[in-house]
Amino acid sequence: MFFMNNKYIKLGVTIDDLDAVTNDLENLLHIQFAKHDSSYWGIYNKVMLSDSEEMRLGFNFVDEDWREEEHKDCPLILELNRLKQPEKMVKFLCEHLPYLIPLKMKDFKQADK
């Protein structure tokens, strides 16, 4: 068994246009998001980059509650989960999409067999 370091990253989005940000990300990264709707997350777009790597773009304010209350200036939140090169991706995204702001990066360990 070995331990794989994983990072969970949240970027704030300072513009309030889910479709425009989704299009920007799709064009920049040559990926295709799928639309989702859930009672917990609300409306959001998600793409699996690999079996474990995931990006999710959704609203910061869902069902009368802030997901990131200290960042009310960010109407959207972009989550990057378990990316192989998370710091490189954050730098690349922020350089090309100036409306993105890094908010949080959390490490967690997952045991692999």
- Tell me: the pLDDT tens digits for 6-23? 788 999 999 999 999 999
| Domain boundaries of the chain, sorted by first residue | 2-112
Within its chain, how far is the Cα of 17 from the centroid? 15
CB neighbour list of residue 30: distance below 8 Å, 6 or more residues apart: none
- Tell me: the pLDDT tens digits for 61-109? 988 888 899 999 999 999 999 888 888 999 999 999 999 999 988 876 5
Please state which CATH class domain 2-112 belongs to.
Answer: alpha beta
